Amino acid sequence: MTLVEVAGLEVSFGHEPPVVHDISFTIEDGECLALVGESGSGKSVTARTLLGLAGERARVRARTLRVGGADARNFSHRDWQRLRGKSVGMVLQDALVSLDPLRRIEDEVAESIRLHQRDSTRAERHQRVLEVLTEVGVPEPELRSQQYPHQLSGGLRQRALIASAVATRPDLVIADEPTTALDVLVQHQILRLLEEIKEQGRGLLLISHDLAVVAKLADRIAVMLDGRIVETGPTERIVGSPEHPYTRTLLDIARGRRAQRPPYTGGQTLLDVDGVTKDFGERRAVAGVSLTLRAGETVGLVGESGSGKSTLARMVMGLTEPDEGRILLRGQPWSGTPERARRAQRRHIQLIQQDPQAAFDPRHTVGRIIAEALPGQRGARRRARVTDLLATVGLDAHLARRRPHQLSGGQRQRVAIARALAPQPEVLICDEPVSALDVSVQAQVLDLLSELQQRLGIALLFITHDLTVVEQTSDRLLIMKDGEIVEEGLTKAAFEDPQHPYTNALLQAAPRLPGSPTAPKGELR
Amino acid sequence: MSATTAAFDTARPRWRATRGSHILLAISTLAVALIVALLLFPGVFAPYAPDTNDVQHTFSPPSSTHYLGTDQLGRDVFSRLVYGARYSVTTGLVATAIAVVAGSLVGLTAAAGSRLADALIMRLTDVWMAFPEVLLALLVIALIGTGSTQIAVAIGVAAVPYYGRLVRGQALAVTKAEYVEAAKILGVPAWRYVLRHVLPNVGGPVVVLASLGTGSAIAAAAGLSLLGLGPLPPTPEWGVMLAEGQTYLANAWWIAVFPGLAIVVVVLISTMLGRSLQARSLR
Amino acid sequence: MTRLLASQILPTLELALSAAVIGLLLALVATVITAGRSRIVRTGTSVFEVLAVAIPPFWLGILLLSIFSFNLRWFPAFGSHGVSGLVLPTLALAIPISGVLAQVMRQELELVEGRPFVLSARARGQSRLGLLLRHTLRHALLPATTMSAWVLGTLVGGAVLVEKVFSRPGLGTVLVNAVQHRDTPVVSAVVIIAALIFVVANTLADTLYPVIDVRLRETSRA
């Protein structure tokens, strides 16, 4: 049965140009279609249009718009309300904010049953909630159904959200970035669950920015760019022989196939972290970590959230003092020295953060932000140096007059890099430098960092949760779990022959495409 | 071939909000300029002197000769309001200035001081804020006596903890902000990043609160004068005019109603100014 | 003195509490009626709210007296004659405070309406009213709960002035006389009583808050 049939769909807001442009697709039962694109490509608007949720000011036009067997073009509010949650269920990203924090899991899961099966009794609904929670793999459903979202882990919350979408056994499930906010191991489990939902004979519309995530699950892929579908076809065809250059770019990024780095030859040790430990009350955030960083070298430090990697970064930056152990910078004592002594050394080590917006004074222009890193330079000389630095990171000089909030995410991160380079540091610490950016922008920023490193011979420490980022950039790899380093070695060796079971699990769970430099060896269940 | 579907949505376009706040800021700035002109040159705006009795024209309703009517002594209500701004508005401004200065000192001391000092000051402001502002002002007046200056001090003292808490909270948030940390990482000395980042970012919200607060300080001052604790008749202070006019409410409503309207207008202007400044800083 | 205060505190409390109830009701009605409506409706109500907040209760009292007592003669002008004597002073206090509460609730409501869980609920087929009653209104009530002690304090302070305008017996008369005669002990006593009311209200609000906001209950069971 055809669940969704869309032809010539166009969505616009107010009098602005359309954000979705003449797109057509169908979804059959038991089939998974994936809409892949970056932010602003129109993929989420398209998904919401299928539920009449594109927005108050949205103008929707289509030659054909059939959802659940009915012509939805002239649907009233009431028609949409009857369709939502009954024949179509929807799963959004990050269940912490996608489930009402003030209501019990049971109330959220039962909501669509109560709305669409009005004659159901309380006991029947409770029974069905337990059933569906069990189906999506929530252990102890009796207990969990009486809890609130904040009492569940990220993975359980996402399962509960999926349960709320499938409680009425809808024919079609729309999942909008269902795994984006999750750690890699949990992401793998949720993808397995979505696969089961598809195997039950339901249609699945999967929205994602990540080709590697959808490739395992989707039967067909439609690649979206600027509101248009630029390429569509069976998954094997899209992954195997892409036709559109944008699809190829996305695939290359997902496979980590980028410019080859010359092998690292070695230099003097710039940063020496020796057995540092940091406790916060009862909790040991960092437990006896040692690492070294040499000139011209890139080291990747990988860990999931809560692994202690950000605390380590703060100690390396001299913002937090270690409780035990010591840190040397360029052979000089760095940790445990007074700030007055440290200030003169600070220009040698710089930091790039995940969210550059927060790292800029909102009142200052880009020019002033960069100039702050150039003490002692005035007037025309300083302006020329700012222009220089902007050019180094590939930005036009006129951006110096803008304020941070007027820039795109990628531009902001480039400004952050320019500011970090201004004092000509020898060590650059990058804490999740690209995780807030779109994938193609991520690739550009990573390329920029690699290129700068080779040109300037800086030592880079990459702190990230994303193995792909490390694989593409790092000479050596450290894996951190619960405050300790569990794996250490050359990147290539660690990927091919992981020593620690945790590394192995991370590698297996990371979604990757056939043809990646290091393809998975076995299946993780 | 087309069908338009709609569903309710609360997303608002950004540019509209921004343009709206620009217009609001322009209007309120003009209004503030007008009030300043009233304060400096009341004679230019008022057709009559504030204290000229005219026994022939007592209780005349609003007309083209007396825009807002005359009172029980035949004095022109509009002219009295214009001259009265000197008392009412100035009292509110002085009260706010006292609250801002004292509040900033309290807040900065708490933020910069030791953990014990901070805790002590915060508990003190808790207690301070437990007293309703009007009642606390009354207590201060009972201690220092009645009059315009005393009212300004009383209202200012009652408002101190609100500014103190704001300044402390902002100062702590800004000190921990990543952009201040970024300056530290660059090796910028403490005095310089306090001057360059902390003070301007703490000051912004204080200006907003002061602008919003001036209106309520003016209203509170008028309220205390209404109770007979401020200047005495025949001073054309708005609260005093309200109290006098209330006696004649049954047959001459305009004597009491227009002074109150003047207060409302001034409060609205201060709210508008505060809101538009706030909208600009949030952008 | 104690007996004097005790006899005068009841009329003031009566006035402040009825104004708190009516103010909250007015704010709730305004929020429920206008939530999710078109921008024009919401802009219109927010203009009304700003206006309500800007009006000092003592002047609103004079306005109400002038219209409903002297012109329409619906309510007595002076004194506290049972319920009919309470209506105008209560409204004079309740309308400005309802503006404050409605602003706070609407702001929170609009913030919450942008959260993904609202989209989730709508995607399950929830109607406009259902969304409000089952999801968003509870969130909007949270900041209003936090403010309840402040609201009560402000109302007691405002009652002093409104009592003077309506010539009602209560703490207002006692207080003004005491201040004029620099009778500091009486003033201090009244101020401390008001502060006690605030502390009690605050404690009540603190106990009530976790009932509405489950996130503040113990979080260890996960």
CB contact under 8 Å between B200 and A363, yes or no, is: yes
Chain A residue closest in CA terms to C220:
A151
Bond from prior residue into A170 cis (ω within 30 degrees of 0): no
pLDDT of residue A261: 60
ipTM value > 0.90: no
Per the model's pLDDT, the better-predicted residue between A247 and C197 turns out to be A247
Number of separate helices (H) and strands (E) present in chain C: 10, 0
Per the model's pLDDT, the better-predicted residue between A88 and B68 turns out to be A88
CB contact under 8 Å between B187 and A52, yes or no, is: no
Backbone angles phi, psi at A138, to 5 degrees: -90, 115
**Rounded Cα distance, B78 and B76, in Å:** 6
Task: Categorize the per-residue pLDDT at B247 as very low, low, confident or very high, splitting at 50, 70 and 90.
Answer: confident
**Rounded Cα distance, A518 and A508, in Å:** 11
CB neighbours (10 Å) of residue B250?
13
**Rounded Cα distance, A226 and A238, in Å:** 19
pLDDT of residue C78: 62
CB neighbours (10 Å) of residue C40?
8
Q: What are the E-state strand segments in C5-49?
A: none
Per the model's pLDDT, the better-predicted residue between A344 and B13 turns out to be A344
pLDDT of residue B16: 41
Question: pTM for the whole thing?
Answer: 0.77
Chain B positions touching A351 (Cβ under 8 A) are 182, 185
User: Which residues numbered 190-249 in A keep a CB inside 8 Å of some CB on B?
Assistant: none
pLDDT of residue B3: 33
CB contact under 8 Å between C135 and A148, yes or no, is: no
CB contact under 8 Å between B3 and A360, yes or no, is: no
Statement: residue B2 has pLDDT above 50: no
Chain mean pLDDT for chain A? 86
Statement: residue B18 has pLDDT above 70: no
Q: Which of A89-98, A323-332, B235-244, C89-98 has the lowest mean pLDDT?
A: A89-98
**Rounded Cα distance, B132 and B151, in Å:** 16
pLDDT tens-digit series, residues A182-207: 777 888 888 888 999 899 889 999 99
With a CB cutoff of 8 Å and minimum separation 6, the contacts of C81 are none
Chain B residue closest in CA terms to A354:
B178
DSSP string, C77-89: SSS--HHHHHHHH
CB contact under 8 Å between B132 and C179, yes or no, is: no
**Rounded Cα distance, C85 and B24, in Å:** 40
pLDDT of residue B11: 32
pLDDT of residue B101: 95
Shortest CA gap C152–chain B (Å): 9
Task: Categorize the per-residue pLDDT at A520 as very low, low, confident or very high, splitting at 50, 70 and 90.
Answer: very low
Highest mean pLDDT among B55-59, B128-132, C58-62: C58-62
Q: How many CB pairs under 8 A join A and B?
A: 98
Q: What is the mean pLDDT of residues C2-28?
A: 86
The answer to whether residues A429 and A457 touch, using CB atoms and an 8 Å cutoff, is: no
pLDDT tens-digit series, residues A40-99: 788 889 999 999 988 878 889 999 999 988 888 888 888 999 999 999 999 987 666 889
Q: What are the E-state strand segments in C31-164?
A: none
Q: Does B4 touch chain A (CB under 8 A)?
A: yes
Question: Hey, of B19, B81, B135, which one would you mutate to test binding to chain C, going by the most C CBs within 10 A of its CB?
Answer: B135
Statement: residue A152 has pLDDT above 70: yes
Chain A positions touching C135 (Cβ under 8 A) are 100, 102-103
Q: What is the mean pLDDT of residues A333-352?
A: 88
Q: What is the mean pLDDT of residues A508-525?
A: 57
Statement: residue A259 has pLDDT above 60: no
CB contact under 8 Å between B186 and A60, yes or no, is: no
Question: Hey, of A45, A50, A83, A102, which one would you mutate to test binding to chain C, going by the most C CBs within 10 A of its CB?
Answer: A102
Shortest CA gap B35–chain A (Å): 30
Using CB atoms, which residue from B11, B179, B184 is nearest to A361?
A: B179
Chain C positions touching B127 (Cβ under 8 A) are 195
Shortest CA gap C220–chain B (Å): 28
Statement: residue C77 has pLDDT above 70: no
The answer to whether residues C58 and B226 touch, using CB atoms and an 8 Å cutoff, is: yes
Q: In the beta sheet, which residues pair with residue A276?
A: A289
Residue C20 has which token pair?
């708190």
The answer to whether residues C83 and C92 touch, using CB atoms and an 8 Å cutoff, is: no
pLDDT tens-digit series, residues A278-331: 988 888 889 989 999 988 888 999 888 778 888 899 899 988 889 999 999 988
- % pLDDT > 90, chain B: 28
Q: What is the mean pLDDT of residues A397-414?
A: 85
Chain A residue closest in CA terms to B2:
A61
pLDDT of residue B8: 28
Task: Categorize the per-residue pLDDT at C19 as very low, low, confident or very high, splitting at 50, 70 and 90.
Answer: very high
Residue B162 has which token pair?
């609100």
Using CB atoms, which residue from A83, A94, A151 is nearest to C219?
A: A151
Per the model's pLDDT, the better-predicted residue between A174 and A69 turns out to be A174
Statement: residue A27 has pLDDT above 90: yes
| Alpha helices, H only, A93-219 | 95-98, 105-116, 122-135, 141-145, 154-166, 184-199, 211-215
Statement: residue C23 has pLDDT above 90: yes
Chain C positions touching A85 (Cβ under 8 A) are 123-126
Chain B residue closest in CA terms to A348:
B186
pLDDT of residue B45: 83
CA A352, A355, A359, A365 dihedral sign is: positive
